[in-house]
Amino acid sequence: MAEPGAERDVRGEARLTGRTYERFCYLHGRRSKVPSSRADRRGRAERIERVPRISARPLATRRIARSPAPESAAPRPGRAEPEAPARGPTRFPPGPRSPPRDARRRKPKPAGRPPRVSCRRVRRTALVTGANRGIGVEVCRRLAADGHDVILTARDPVAGREAARELGVRFEMLDVADGASVTGCARRAGPVAILVNNAGVFPPGTVLDAPSESWREAIETNFLGALRCCRAFVPAMVERGYGRVVNVSSGYGAFAEGLDGPAPYAVSKAALNALTKKLASEVSGDVKVNAVCPGWVRTRMGGEGAELPVEEAVETILWLSSLPADGPNGGFFRDRAPIPW
């Protein structure tokens, strides 16, 4: 049981209360005995007011109140805690200062161990054309999942914005058939490290019967569209010494496969293949320009009866967009393997 005038705190330590506390204060006010006369009692009351309010708990049980450090003074992660200013004791019990928290955790490095190399992929800026649906939107999804800064572009701002919002990536309006739209987009987007020329149309017809409009549309989009984008973005790649250009072509554009398919489409993709080969021979540094046939893919262009889902069709595009420095340049690929022009 606690003595009268003393309580026990949670740690079981005696704590002075009431008159016993006053007596304690009095004693700390440098008087040897408790005054008994009225005058003395008055003097004692005044003195008690002047005595700083200190806890009667033993010092070891006292908690030292620390005012929160201002934000600017807070130690930054990874840095050792800064020394406290010499303003009197802020720790208890006094004694040699323990090492800063970080220093306590740091283990000595064994001698001779090689420095750790991060396996994280480099985050790059990637721009994909015609990406509001089909293969383009899937390429954006995968590039974003790989940690790249993706710029999803489309000629239809409503559909493009909606696709970009769903993926949580940036949107820029881009009609590859319009020169001003390409230069405007390039100005807004700034330099990019990865360019996927994916926008495409599939106008039907033979050489002799396809209307001029179909020819114009196919050439403007599938060939000149990619050419415009290359001219807008590749110079900065060469200047910066790094770039990956992936031209989404088709086996229909391959002489080796008979230039099969509708004439405006086949001829425009053959021209895209020629552009790929020619541009690849002009670039320097770690810049690579390749073409890809994604296969027959279930999209609006490929139709519902097509062989491949978009998830599979984008594999080679993604591989070409992240080729290492010793990867191929100026090639034509399907399923990650070279195919003849």
Ligand X SMILES: NC(=O)c1ccc[n+]([C@@H]2O[C@H](COP(=O)([O-])OP(=O)(O)OC[C@H]3O[C@@H](n4cnc5c(N)ncnc54)[C@H](OP(=O)(O)O)[C@@H]3O)[C@@H](O)[C@H]2O)c1
Catalytic residues: 265
Rounded least distance, CB 117 to ligand X, Å = 37
132 or 329, CB closer to ligand X? 132
Rounded least distance, CB 201 to ligand X, Å = 5
Please select the residue that binds ligand X; options are 214, 250, 276, 321, rule is CB under 6 A.
Answer: 250
175 or 286, CB closer to ligand X? 175
243 or 294, CB closer to ligand X? 294
Residues 148-187 that bind ligand X (CB under 6 A): 154-156, 159, 174-177
Please select the residue that binds ligand X; options are 294, 314, 318, 320, rule is CB under 6 A.
Answer: 294
Rounded least distance, CB 195 to ligand X, Å = 14
Please name the amino acid found at residue 55: S
Please select the residue that binds ligand X; options are 51, 306, 323, 339, rule is CB under 6 A.
Answer: 306
Please select the residue that binds ligand X; options are 126, 169, 194, 199, rule is CB under 6 A.
Answer: 199
Residues 75-114 that bind ligand X (CB under 6 A): none
β-partners of residue 195 are 127, 245
What's the burial of 131, exposed, middle or buried (CB within 10 Å: 0-12/13-18/19+)?
A: buried
Sign of the CA dihedral with 297 first, then 300, 301, and 306 last: positive
Asked if 65 and 91 count as a contact pair (C-beta separation under 8 A), the reply is: no
130 or 243, CB closer to ligand X? 130
Stretch that binds ligand X, among 5-13, 90-98, 133-141, 204-212 (CB under 6 A): 133-141
Buried b (16+ CB within 10 A) or exposed e, 159-190: ebeebbeebebbbbebbbbeeebbebbbeebe
Buried b (16+ CB within 10 A) or exposed e, 110-120: eeeeeeeeeee
Rounded least distance, CB 126 to ligand X, Å = 16
**C-alpha dihedral (25, 26, 31, 33), degrees to nearest 10:** -120
Binding mask 254-293 for ligand X (x = CB under 6 A): ---------------------------------------x
In angstroms, the CA 199 to CA 230 distance is 13
Please select the residue that binds ligand X; options are 143, 302, 316, 320, rule is CB under 6 A.
Answer: 302
Rounded least distance, CB 228 to ligand X, Å = 10
In angstroms, the CA 249 to CA 254 distance is 9
- The reply on whether position 225 binds ligand X by CB under 6 A is yes
β-partners of residue 297 are 308
Rounded least distance, CB 284 to ligand X, Å = 27
Q: Who contacts 21 (Cβ-Cβ below 8 Å, separation ≥6)? A: 5, 56
Q: Who contacts 108 (Cβ-Cβ below 8 Å, separation ≥6)? A: none
Dihedrals phi, psi of 336, to nearest 5 degrees: 65, 15
Interacting residues toward ligand X by CB under 6 A: 129-130, 132-136, 154-156, 159, 174-177, 198-201, 221, 225, 248, 250, 293-294, 296-297, 299-302, 306
